[in-house]
Chains A and B, each alone.
Chain A
Amino acid sequence: MVSFDRFTLANGLKVLVHEDPTTPMAVVNILYDVGARDEDPKQTGFAHLFEHLMFGGSVNIPSYDEPLQRVGGENNAFTSNDITNYYITLPAVNLETAFWLESDRMLNLAFSEKSLEVQRNVVSEEFKQRYLNQPYGDVWLKLRPLAYKKHPYQWATIGKSLKHIEDASIDDVKRFFSRHYNPSNAIMVVGGNVKLDEVKRLSEKWFGNIPAVEKSARKLPAEDMQIEERKETINANVPLDAIYKVFHMPARTDQAYYAVDLISDILSRGNSSRLFRNLLKDQKLFSEINAYLTGSLDGGLFVLEGKPLPGVSMETAETAIWTELERLKDEDVPDHELTKVKNKMESTMVFSEMSLLDKAMNLAYFELLGDADQLNSETSKYLEVTASEIREQAKRIFRKENSSTLYYLAN
């Protein structure tokens, strides 16, 4: 149970407060409702590049990191296809420094050409390090456009190509900021050794006079229902063949999400899971095999990925995966197995409450989904899933015409 209070400033900034007196620390987590899905198809990678620029100094404060480190704080951020999330942890006695820094960069950035120039380079190196200079690093650059033909999930947060990042101009940066970085587009969670009244006072003091801007409506192209099986083969300098198979599945906020999430656990969570047990251990077909969800806010993907052992053909590997998927469609998951994945989910939720930062991030995310309090009913939603719902979702999702398969073959 993560308790919290909530208030909204006149300019639309939502603030959630989670008091946890057991720690001497405080966390300030700000989620902006903007991600790679909000980018122009001709300027992909921009939300993420922009995240880097948020550390390049704001209108009244030339350096973001230095004053924070000076008071014993640390920070970081991440960008996904859906959101951009910034967080600070610092000794609670210095909480106000976090308000000062975060409010100034919500008010306005410094927009320095030097910062843009450097961060273009840094992000280009990040692109190389994570996506190009790693075996299989570019797989999501291939899979996304195979699975999505219309929706902006067809590109990764890093962007479609290095070129888009290299071409970003300071005017683009300014436009992006004024459109997305506003109080009404943000959710702030303040947690730790803090008091509600003090957080209210500091919020009014530092964020209260940031001008309100109406939250812009999101109009993203919807993905058409996939009606044909898609396949692609690439050859690369990798030591082992790999297979990636993705299926369209319901959005994070869909009630069906919970059943599908448990399917991925049945298939792939832990050493007692079906894929690990059957395909890796017993049938000795794969050296690695996994299933997981993208958990996207719009229609997401159910992902299976594996590396067949030498001598195992792609056809054999794929047939074995399908056999496991068909079994989920044909047979109810036995009670013991369903209870097992539910128990694991339940204890995972308890363990996640050990971390202040995790609690703050989760509150912000669930508030974005509609109501932070839903975080506290997550466990019961998983516990309510039935074997027949799981079968129903398996039938709905695991169809050839809903699949995209990438063969990633060793040269």
Chain B
Amino acid sequence: MINRTLAPDFGQVENIELIEASPIILGNGLKIFCIEGGEQDLVRIEFIFENINYNVSKPLQAYAANTMLTEGTSELTSSEIADKIDYYGAFLQTDYSNDQSGVTLYSLNKHLSSTLPIVKAILTDSIFPEVELDTLIRNQKQKLSVNLEKNDFLSRKVFNNVMFGNSIYGYDTRAEDYDKLTRHQLKEYFKLAYQPKNCTVIISGKATDIASKIVDELFGSAWEEVGEVSPNGFSFTTGVGAEHYIEKGDAIQSAIRLGKVAINRSHTDFAGMQVLNTILGGYFGSRLMANIREDKGYTYGIGSALVSMKNAGYFFIASEVGADVCSSALDEIYKEVNILKQEPVSTEELSLVRNYMLGSMLGSLENAMSHADKFKNIYFSGLGYDYYQKYIETVRTINPEALLGLANKYFNTETFEKVIVGKK
């Protein structure tokens, strides 16, 4: 008979190998990186542009210019673009984030010579038709009105705004901001931002050498430079911390979001903070989950995260909890944060978290596209692959005293912004 009470032997994750990106720079300044891998005959090609010239009087300019790239060129209507992409079984999406805007194409290799020219058309010749802009404005305002009824959405919006003010990271979008959008604004932004010098192409999947040749043929010479661009730059400081309560009389759950401006990936404490965050709220077995969900049953889920952006980083804890237990849940959250500041993590818990994080890192490298995502993390933070060596080293070796030090350095709950939407 086997003894089922004894866990089988296990090993630590020894080797984590990243497929490194190989760079190509074209004559017009366009940078291409290829990450080769996979059995399926397909590639993902991302065209990524830094967000530029942020202007608070036109807060949705970059977003709308990005979203409307698929809405028409001088030769193709919105409907023709969609039809061609769908016909070739490809996927074309626009991606907008705080720091970058982009277009991503997923295509079978055999159709690249049909699908990539469409990408070229939208990146070099978008015309932002008035009628399509009207549709965007109309529908986005409707969506916003629905989202504003969601406590979790509201809490995120308020939290970002109290930390980052009216910068692109924190701007509190209102329905009337959509009405301020004009075709002229979008064309102006398109001309400046969507040019080769401001673009990074990342190709991942199979036969990326062939894909990069097609990119070169299409974009290498025919895409003209317009001039220098200045990517957005901001600086932020941690606020003093305050409570921001939005009462919703009929709420049966309250959305909680707590946290503050912290560090981003380029800071030497970042990897250690990721270990500390994992212990607190970064995985299913975390202290917040163990206490607030698995012991008290106050919530369906609670978590914390460290977010790295180009010009800032921040730390937050978020949950949706029963309205009747909101203040008890807050007490328990503070209790867990304070324990991390007062008591060293046990070696047993720390070894579990080390193994979990290494396994999770290994599992996050599923295919060439995930390797490309790892590359983007470092590339857009101005870091090299040694970042991952250091990260793995930190996960393996950081000691309880160092974690205690980080908790005291970064987890001053007095300075946390505390957002509660619902009832408390």
Contact = CB atoms under 8 A, between A and B. Distances in A.
Q: Decide whether A and B assemble into one complex.
A: yes
Interface in A334-349: 336, 339-341, 343-348
B135 to A, nearest CB: 6
Contacts of A93: 10-11, 13
A290 to B, nearest CB: 13
B139 A272 contact: no
Contacts of B79: 271-272, 277, 281
B322 A125 contact: yes
A128 B362 contact: no
A312 B1 CA distance: 71
Nearest to B352: A70
Interface residues of A, number: 83
Given A72-B355, A133-B320, A347-B89, A118 B362 contact: no
Contacts, number: 217
Contacts of A348: 89
A307 B142 contact: yes
A255 interface: no
A90 B359 CA distance: 7
Nearest to A56: B294
B142 A240 contact: yes
B366 interface: yes
A121 B301 CA distance: 12
Interface of A: 22-25, 59-61, 65-67, 69-75, 89-91, 93-94, 96-97, 99-100, 103-104, 107, 117-126, 128-130, 132-136, 205-206, 209, 237-240, 269-272, 277, 280-281, 284, 287-288, 307, 309-310, 336, 339-341, 343-348, 350-351, 353-356
Interface in B325-378: 351-353, 355-356, 358-360, 362-363, 366-367, 369
Of residues B148, B322, B363, which shows the largest number of chain A Cβ atoms within 10 Å of its Cβ?
B363
Interface stretch (B20-28, B162-170, B249-257, B261-269): B249-257
A130 B283 CA distance: 21
Contacts of B89: 343-348
Q: Which 3 A-B pairs have the closest CB atoms?
A: A72-B359, A121-B297, A347-B89
B108 interface: yes
Contact of B7 (A67, A130, A345): A67
Contact of A70 (B2, B5, B356, B362): B356
Contact of A270 (B38, B82, B359): B82
B88 A343 contact: yes
Contacts of B293: 118, 122
A61 B88 contact: no
The interface size bin for chain B is 35 or more
A347 B356 contact: no
B356 A69 contact: yes
Contacts of B88: 343, 347
Contact of A74 (B39, B353, B360): B360
A97 B148 CA distance: 45
Interface of B: 1-2, 4-5, 7-13, 15, 38-42, 70, 78-79, 81-83, 85-90, 106, 108, 132, 135, 138-139, 142-143, 145-146, 148-151, 250-253, 283-285, 293-300, 320-322, 351-353, 355-356, 358-360, 362-363, 366-367, 369
Nearest to A347: B89
A277 B41 CA distance: 30
A67 B4 CA distance: 13
Contacts of A310: 142
A270 B93 CA distance: 10
Of residues B79, B108, B251, B297, which shows the largest number of chain A Cβ atoms within 10 Å of its Cβ?
B297
Contact of B40 (A69, A72, A288, A354): A354
Contact of B146 (A71, A135, A344): A135
B90 A347 contact: yes
Contacts of B296: 118, 121
